[in-house]
Structure 1
Amino acid sequence: MSSQKIPTLIRVASVPYSQVYIRHLELPDEDRAGMVQRLQDPAPAGGPRSQQSAWWPPRMLEPDWIRENSDSFDLMHMHFGFDALDPQTLRQTVAELRAGGKPLVYTVHDLINPHQPDPHAHEALLEVLIPAADALITLTQGAAHEISERWGRSCHVLPHPHVIDFATMERLREQRMQSRRDRQRVRRIGVHLKEMRPNLSEQVIEPLAQIVEDLPECKLQVNIHRQVVDPQNKEYRQALAEFLAAGHDAGRWDLVAHEYFSETKLFDYFGSLDVNVLPYRYGTHSGWLEAALDAGTAVIAPDCGYYSDQDASVASYRWDGEQVDADSLRHAVQRQLSLPYIPGMDAQGRREQREALAVAHLRLYRSLLGSGRFGQRPEPELRQGHTASGR
């Protein structure tokens, strides 16, 4: 039995901290907080800083930061942001953690980076992280199976926590319960193209419009960030803007172009929809999907990735990376519009889930710190022959 002393307060260098998934791994009851303390994100040192993620690029992953701050944390838990590094620097990061006797936990959110059209750069980083981590977590059984097949590593499967706060969740779900009693209401089916990051596609809109046109008391709504359809903006996409405007002018869908939603507006957007169709070309898991479910919105997702593994209520349509299968999309729309229940957990269920997740993470951290066996995996090497499965 190891004589390793486990600290009462476990200090976690969380990469990042300022992200809703990570924040919601903590106990919601402040009276029981304090067993795990996640370090706040250090300000990035120079270079371009993300407007949406103020912690990026993450300083905690810099080998020098780890060496200089080794006394301030007990273990590192990596989630996002390592795409700011190249594989060689990431290997140095792992080496510094080992030199300082710090366990590394990695939650595999993305087997394919949704922001990168070429999967090889992300794969090269996974080839460092997944073999080197002292413990792996992922969100679904499907992703865990792929990780086992590709790397021979087992994962703790822990679901995505809630995204919407409990009070707002209760309000939105109560509003939905009341609106479902109105049989004459217009039901809204929404697609949000956001900023048209690489894994988003407008190709689902045309077949979806044809499906919705045949449904009574239904309307298709397409949202997009304003810069994509603004001719004066450098991110303007003329062909896409003209396609969306033409459909709107013909009455086939409502086009809503807007700035980035505030959190309040985003949650109210989910609450305004009956069905949210995800227009992903590739990916693994989705926090957007979780937020929709928090609001009681039915979700339709492509069969790439493991979106349907996130919740039993999610309906899938077939997508081969180039074309949407209209028949499967029609079936998914009909299924979600006829759901006899409000999908997703209610606030009490999400609260209990969050508490269970906090306990599971605490136990994992304690087991690593108490074992004294962390940091003994071989130095990570870039392996050849692994390609993205497209799942």
Structure 2
Amino acid sequence: MGEPAFFRLPDPRPVDAEETENRWWPPRWLEPRWLTEHIDTFDVFHLHFGFDAVEPARLAAIVGILRAHDKPFVLTVHDLHNPHFANNSMHLAQLGILVTAADEVITLTHAAAAEITARWNTPATVLPHPHVAPLDLIGQVRAGHEREFVIGIHAKSLRANLDPLAVMDVVVCTAAELGNARVQLDIDDEVFAHRDQRGAIGAALTAYNRFRSVDVRVHRRFDDTELWRYLKGIDVSVLPYRFGTHSGWLEACYDLGTAVVAPDCGYYSDQKPCTTYEFGIDRFEPDTLAQALRDVHAARSRTPAASRSERERERTMLSRRHYEIYERALSRSSRILTEAR
């Protein structure tokens, strides 16, 4: 039996977009004029990311164009608190327009769906996050770390919700207590190009190399292959997120058999198995982080991990469920979705 099929249009590249290794540009679909000019090229409009910098008035205009042309609108809500901004008021204003206008809303956890309903009186279909690591890496036997337990903290580019400096003392002290543990602290080198507080925080983090048990590594941003190698090389990833909702990083860890210690803000523990500690905006209970690391260390031979077959079945299920959602959205309009052949 074949899978339901639909065709996803390629991301149109703006004329003035720079071709870089980590290229990104605002979706042209969120430009009212461009959307209007290409309104007959698609059946369903599905928005997931890319509207961070789009003013609510422009989003309202986009919604108006879709309605005027009888185009169904599907929205996936990954973040209820945008991890790039401590002040979440803009993001909530954007979501207020998008969620209430969508024909179908998707999110990743039941807890997030409950919040969406409570905030906007709108139901949301819960579909789990798909695999992040390549299928051929999922379920592989990991190299054992019998001699040492590697605790990873990745500061990345120090985006707004990351506060690794706050947790480092506890992590280093707990690693010393465990005895056979090493802390690996990674920092993207772009941090040090900033003259704001990120550069100062980066300097403070590199000072942890004074501890023999801490391995500080400053490097360019990992490409995908380097990221998979990194995650397979640590036993646990500590997520120092002050705020957020869901995490693709958590999914990658689950794919590759890396344990996760995540904050109790957001809905990380609803998304995938992880050990939590009390951490959020203006709050931190250090003892809970220390205990989380002890618990993960004690259970290190039983770390939850995905199997390839599980992720393959999930991928098939997600494809079918998305097709069903698109059909439902189209049933509310005058258009009919036909299977691609």
Equivalence for 1:192 = 154
Q: How far apart are 1:227 and its partner, in Å? A: 2.5
The one of 281, 290, 293 aligned to 1:333: 293
Q: Deviations over 1:129-182 (max 9, x none)?
A: 011111100001111111111111110000100000111224xx3124xx16xx
Alignment-mate amino acid for residue 223 of structure 1: D
Q: How far apart are 1:242 and its partner, in Å? A: 3.5
- Cα gap change, 1:234 to 1:327, in 2 (>3 Å): closer
Tell me the number of residue pairs that the alignment of Structure 1 and Structure 2 aligns.
333
* SS of match in other structure, 2:284: coil
Q: How far apart are 1:271 and its partner, in Å? A: 0.3
Q: How far apart are 1:332 and its partner, in Å? A: 1.1
* SS of match in other structure, 2:10: coil
- Cα gap change, 1:315 to 1:206, in 2 (>3 Å): same
- The answer to whether the Cα contact below 8 Å between 2:83 and 2:160 also exists between their aligned partners in 1 is yes
Worse-superposed segment, 334-343 or 280-289 = 334-343
The one of 316, 323, 326 aligned to 1:355: 316
- Cα gap change, 1:64 to 1:242, in 2 (>3 Å): closer
Q: How far apart are 1:49 and its partner, in Å? A: 5.8
- The answer to whether the Cα contact below 8 Å between 1:50 and 1:56 also exists between their aligned partners in 2 is no
Please give the alpha-carbon distance, in whole angstroms, between the structure 1 residues aligned to 2:20 and 2:245: 24
Alignment-mate amino acid for residue 36 of structure 1: F
Equivalence for 1:269 = 230
- Cα gap change, 1:250 to 1:229, in 2 (>3 Å): farther
Equivalence for 2:339 = none
Alignment-mate amino acid for residue 171 of structure 2: L
Please give the alpha-carbon distance, in whole angstroms, between the structure 2 residues aligned to 1:55 and 1:155: 28
Please give the alpha-carbon distance, in whole angstroms, between the structure 2 residues aligned to 1:55 and 1:77: 18
The one of 2, 24, 43 aligned to 1:74: 43
Q: Which runs of 5+ in 2 are unaligned?
A: 336-341
- Cα gap change, 1:373 to 1:318, in 2 (>3 Å): farther
Q: Deviations over 1:110-141 (max 9, x none)?
A: 11111112211111111110111111000011
Equivalence for 2:304 = 343
Please give the alpha-carbon distance, in whole angstroms, between the structure 2 residues aligned to 1:363 and 1:136: 13
User: How do 1:307-322 residues align onto structure 2 when only pairs under 5 Å count?
Assistant: 307-311=268-272, 313-322=273-282
Are 2:63 and 1:94 aligned? yes
Equivalence for 1:228 = 191
Please give the alpha-carbon distance, in whole angstroms, between the structure 2 residues aligned to 1:83 and 1:117: 13
Equivalence for 2:205 = 244
Equivalence for 1:7 = none
Q: Which runs of 5+ in 1 are unaligned?
A: 1-30, 375-391
Q: How far apart are 1:103 and its partner, in Å? A: 0.4
- Cα gap change, 1:64 to 1:239, in 2 (>3 Å): closer
Alignment-mate amino acid for residue 72 of structure 1: T
The one of 43, 48, 51 aligned to 2:13: 43
Please give the alpha-carbon distance, in whole angstroms, between the structure 2 residues aligned to 1:355 and 1:341: 27
* SS of match in other structure, 2:52: helix
Please give the alpha-carbon distance, in whole angstroms, between the structure 2 residues aligned to 1:109 and 1:191: 23
Equivalence for 1:14 = none
The one of 80, 98, 105 aligned to 1:111: 80
Please give the alpha-carbon distance, in whole angstroms, between the structure 2 residues aligned to 1:316 and 1:50: 39
* SS of match in other structure, 1:130: helix
- The answer to whether the Cα contact below 8 Å between 1:228 and 1:236 also exists between their aligned partners in 2 is no
- The answer to whether the Cα contact below 8 Å between 2:263 and 2:280 also exists between their aligned partners in 1 is no
CA RMSD of aligned residues (A): 2.1
Alignment-mate amino acid for residue 141 of structure 2: E
Q: Deviations over 1:302-361 (max 9, x none)?
A: 0110011111x2110001423431221122112222224231211111111111111100
The one of 94, 105, 119 aligned to 1:125: 94
TM-score computed with the length of structure 1 as normaliser:
0.80
- Cα gap change, 1:308 to 1:248, in 2 (>3 Å): same
Equivalence for 1:25 = none
Please give the alpha-carbon distance, in whole angstroms, between the structure 1 residues aligned to 2:306 and 2:62: 38
TM-score computed with the length of structure 2 as normaliser:
0.91
Alignment-mate amino acid for residue 181 of structure 2: C
Alignment-mate amino acid for residue 174 of structure 2: I
Q: How far apart are 1:42 and its partner, in Å? A: 0.4
Alignment-mate amino acid for residue 368 of structure 1: A
User: How do 1:11-22 residues align onto structure 2 when only pairs under 5 Å count?
Assistant: none
- Cα gap change, 1:234 to 1:60, in 2 (>3 Å): same
Are 2:216 and 1:255 aligned? yes
Please give the alpha-carbon distance, in whole angstroms, between the structure 2 residues aligned to 1:318 and 1:260: 28
Alignment-mate amino acid for residue 315 of structure 2: R
Equivalence for 1:10 = none
- The answer to whether the Cα contact below 8 Å between 1:271 and 1:296 also exists between their aligned partners in 2 is yes
Please give the alpha-carbon distance, in whole angstroms, between the structure 2 residues aligned to 1:321 and 1:224: 22
Q: How far apart are 1:366 and its partner, in Å? A: 1.1
Q: How far apart are 1:236 and its partner, in Å? A: 7.7
- The answer to whether the Cα contact below 8 Å between 1:284 and 1:304 also exists between their aligned partners in 2 is yes
